[in-house]
Amino acid sequence: MAMNRKNLSGLLGAASLVFAAHTSAAPTEHVVHLTAKKFDYSPSAITVKKGEPVAIEIVSSDRKHGFTIAALGIRSDVLPGQTNVVRFTPQTTGTFDFHCDLFCGSGHEGMAGTLVVVD
């Protein structure tokens, strides 16, 4: 069968609808903005939903920090002047501690927060 413009146009239109339907079915990523500064994360408590993709965008306002949620196997350096993104999809509900794992001075041990994963 020869492909004419009408057939090609119809085929491309059908392909566009299939692509749009497929891409709109993907879950939306929940973006959380987190600031790291000497001895503090702001906000210090984050709530997300189980099974929902999460992107934590972390910015350091002063120096290099670390970000880790050991119970979920998540770890990242947080470099000043950059947006550092940590992506994951939580599969377990509960409360998980996060903290800075790069020594940033006296008071470093208090640089922590909690991630709460709900149904």
Torsion 55-74-69-57 (CA) sign? negative
pTM of the model: 0.76
Mean pLDDT, range 81-98, rounded to an integer = 97
Instruction: In whole angstroms, give the CA distance from residue 117 to residue 33.
Output: 16
Query: Taking residues 93-105, what's their average pLDDT?
Result: 93
The better pLDDT of the pair 20, 109 is held by 109
Name which of 71, 102, 97, 96 is nearest 84 in CA terms.
102
Q: What DSSP character marks residue 104?
A: -
Domain covering 30-118, topology:
Immunoglobulin-like (2.60.40)
Q: Where are the domains of the chain?
A: 30-118
What's the mean pLDDT when you consider all of the chain?
85
What's the pLDDT score for residue 57? Answer: 98
Classify residue 117 as exposed, middle or buried by CB count within 10 Å of its CB (0-12, 13-18, 19+): buried
